[in-house]
A and B are shown apart, each in its own frame.
Chain A
Amino acid sequence: MTQEIIISGFGGQGVLSMGKILAYAGLMEDKEVTWMPAYGPEQRGGTANVTVIVSDEPVSSPILSSFDTAIVLNQPSLEKFEPKVKPGGTLIYDSYGINVPPTRKDINVYCIDAMDTAAQMNMIKVFNMMVLGGLLKIHPVVSLESVLKALRKTLPERHHNLIPMNEEALRTGMSIIKPA
């Protein structure tokens, strides 16, 4: 099985680190993974996106024209990547940044109010983990345990006290995602 995922939003939303945790979790499960950022002169408030490929086989192209799943966290990302979801694929969006919702009928569209929920719960810093939780509910590409393992591995030890908060965010994301 291969999952080709694009995660796109504003710089500062944790798009790249969400992708990194997902890729690391794939590594924990001995899968093949590629994390390809659209790197550039990006900065906080600019656009950021990352392609994450998790597969049971060696990954061919890190550059893709279409995706199994797109996670879009703002309007420009939705406009750019909605047309690039494969027919029958999945689109996940956070309604917070979206004025004009997706229109395609040949893909499965899910909405996650992660930004609002994270703000209410005073968990803005782990907003990205909430979104990741939403993805894992729809497509268990990796297990929650592997994500937690990845967090322990990638977070410096002094931040390990934040792992329970990340776990809460992941579980919250799983419960709040709904078909759009």
Chain B
Amino acid sequence: MSAFSYENKTPIISVNSVSYDYRNSQGESIARGVRGIDLDVYQGEFVVLLGHNGSGKSTLAKLLNGFCVPDEGSVTVAGIDTKDDLKIYDIRSKIGMVFQNPDNQMVAAIIEDDMAFGPENLGVPRDEIEERITWALDVVNMSEHRKRSPSKLSGGQKQRIAIASVLAMMPDVLILDESTAMLDPKGRKEVMDTARMLNCQKGMTVILITHYMDEAIEADRVVVLDEGKILTSGTPKEVFSKVDLIKSAGLELPIASKISSELIALGYDIPFALTDEELAEGICKLKSKI
């Protein structure tokens, strides 16, 4: 994991004191969305938005690509305000979004046709669509499935196809909106590995929305949402070590962090651990000291 440098970077997404409520047709507020959110996302960053159900994390995602327009404040993507109706498709072509249920985001019964859907909508020339499909399938390592039907694939594979379909639109930012929530551990790992690889090797800005804390371990920055507000943010280590705050947000620490924080509380001299390896190392060092 390389430390992300914020020097000389301009944010690709800027969220400025945004509030949003879900409203009924009379304009009355029926559910809280988010309150006073400030967030900048930089090019090439891997940001994880953490929060339990109803914390406002998916609302925030919908605000980022203009599905929802803020009641107060503003959201700008690459300098374009999401309130600008005429440029909404510029924003959506820059922000690729992958949703929770892979079955509900595929339009065609053949994988390459589904992948062509986005570029077709943008009016990309035919030959370029062909190149993009070949490239995107190669990136997610699913080239051999090109002419097949998605119905025969596993959840993780379907979700990788969904990512490839979004990649074919050549977005600057990839948002994974709870894209791992319906998957088994193997599928989750496939999707996480793909997201991480895109971030490291292709420099893709990735915003991952999840309630699994272990998916946040390798992020550049973790943002914890609770009741529509940003509770805390920072590097995974900074955030995870605020044990009580995390608990109050209804989230579950990775097992290694839980054990190490309890050991620290008992007075043992070990560093706060995020992964099992770090915990094992800390305990070994402690043992050699005794």
The answer to whether A and B interact is no
Q: Which residues of A contact B (CB under 8 A)?
A: none
Q: Which residues of B contact A (CB under 8 A)?
A: none
